[in-house]
Structure 1
């Protein structure tokens, strides 16, 4: 109890510091203004709905993400839109010039599906469990060639060209790459250049997904091979070599 019986303000649930002007309540505590600012972006502004444990976990994830970003060594960049490290199997979408926050870094295995969208028309899509569709063919290194799509409409001016990537992340399941976000003549060099960069991103995503499928298929084949070389005791369930005569655990004749 403070002077004149005033109630003492609770401490910040994150840092233990003083709370006051600019503090924010969460589901089971309160954050000082400094801690609130740190977690506001990563919580999509829903601080009131989160517990202190949730906030501490997010804060820890943010620190880990910053460490990974600071040690990130790019092995390939596609314009200003896509950066990857094929050895560590990581990628991210660079932020704009004015955005000083740490970009979210994803694993290759996080990619579920992808689409190339032009003025709200999906012209190419692919992902896990599906082949790339829309008439796109992979050719050369990082290039989509041939007929890009059977449904692509001829337009003189394009206002939007977006790569949409669905990722394995419940909180933020979709990543958008804005290639074109203002009216651009389809016959211009600017459009041709940006469309080629979009094609290259789609090609890289397709190759990443194919690598994941090959990895998954090899794991299944390996598991099946191990099972074929083994047998189980009908009495105790012990797993043994396929040429065993007696169970090595209970002695039952096989």
Structure 2
């Protein structure tokens, strides 16, 4: 048995074992390393050159610019595995710079357009209920409007709400959302909101520096929206602090009621869909019994009437 396995292939340039990836020369095969080395020296297609020509080219220690094909001497610049001369490298950098500037301008114009459209929509938004100037609800179109003065107005469809939480000094103190039960609490006037119904812990120090509500949505373009309650020092237990906190919990409770309402509607729709499917299946079964002669036409009509009228 010989030293080399007959089935094994070797590079005709460097005589190393060929792996899965190899390339063809005019009269042989070369490995990936030799292929890339020949590309550095200006060879565009190894298929057009013999193994000896490739070896001679690689041993010349000459490098060529990938763009203008000029021989490189001291002006060698490597970009993404390619060799460029100084002129082509400068041109490449300038092109990239122009592309980045154009992209930034496009993104800036897009944000301006979105902001202008949202401001116009906010001006025409008609609310059916609201909590102060923090948040506005429209039950007719099932949408929320949040006039955020820092990032511009935000709009959230009722069906897009996933969960929400009250943050005080960056720490979650209360939360709610899909799958959470509304339990206990005190009702708030005509809104019917349940204050304190959501779960969570209230960690306290004497001073609170910020309070905000974070709403997580299904909108991939704006998955998180904040409702700013206050920013600045307020003593806990003070009249102003308690007023802010009451508004915050009122917002949480209204959001929980909306989520529960949407979930209930979805469950009813799913149930109706299942019931309709069940009725169709039963009618199909009756028709098969009629066709096979098990039921008479009169019996079929009677049973069919029962199914449709129940």
Task: Please confirm whether the aligned pair reaches a TM-score higher than 0.5, indicating the same fold.
Answer: yes
Give the alignment partner of residue 192 of structure 1, picking from 233, 242, 251. 242
Quote the residue 1:77 is aligned against. 130
Give the alignment partner of residue 91 of structure 1, picking from 132, 144, 165. 144
Q: Which runs of 5+ in 1 are unaligned?
A: 1-23, 43-58, 233-239
Q: Report the CA distance between 1:241 and its aligned residue.
A: 4.4
Deviations 1:3-23 (A, max 9, x none): xxxxxxxxxxxxxxxxxxxxx
Q: Are 1:142 and 2:193 matched, yes or no?
A: yes
Q: Report the CA distance between 1:91 and its aligned residue.
A: 0.6
Q: Is contact 2:148–2:228 with CA below 8 Å preserved after alignment?
A: no
Q: Report the CA distance between 1:180 and its aligned residue.
A: 2.2
Q: Which runs of 5+ in 2 are unaligned?
A: 1-97, 295-310
Q: Is contact 2:168–2:210 with CA below 8 Å preserved after alignment?
A: yes
Give the alignment partner of residue 224 of structure 2, picking from 149, 155, 174. 174
Q: Is contact 1:84–1:91 with CA below 8 Å preserved after alignment?
A: yes
SS in 2 for 1:224: helix
Measure the CA separation in 2 of the matches of 1:108 and 1:118.
24
Deviations 1:156-190 (A, max 9, x none): 11112121100111122111112121110112111
Q: Are 1:183 and 2:233 matched, yes or no?
A: yes
Structure label with greater radius of gyration: 2
CA separation of 1:111/1:37 partners in 2, compared to 1, >3 Å: closer, same or farther?
same
Any residues of structure 2 matched to 1:59-70 within 5 Å, and which? 65=118, 68-70=121-123
SS in 2 for 1:179: strand
User: Greater helix percent: which structure?
Assistant: 2
Q: Is contact 1:124–1:136 with CA below 8 Å preserved after alignment?
A: no
Q: Report the CA distance between 1:84 and its aligned residue.
A: 1.4
Q: Is contact 2:131–2:251 with CA below 8 Å preserved after alignment?
A: yes
The number of equivalent residue pairs is 195
Quote the residue 1:154 is aligned against. 204
Give the alignment partner of residue 214 of structure 1, picking from 254, 259, 264. 264
CA separation of 1:195/1:120 partners in 2, compared to 1, >3 Å: closer, same or farther?
same
Deviations 1:186-229 (A, max 9, x none): 12111011001101100110010011111111011101111211
CA separation of 1:122/1:36 partners in 2, compared to 1, >3 Å: closer, same or farther?
closer
CA separation of 1:178/1:221 partners in 2, compared to 1, >3 Å: closer, same or farther?
same
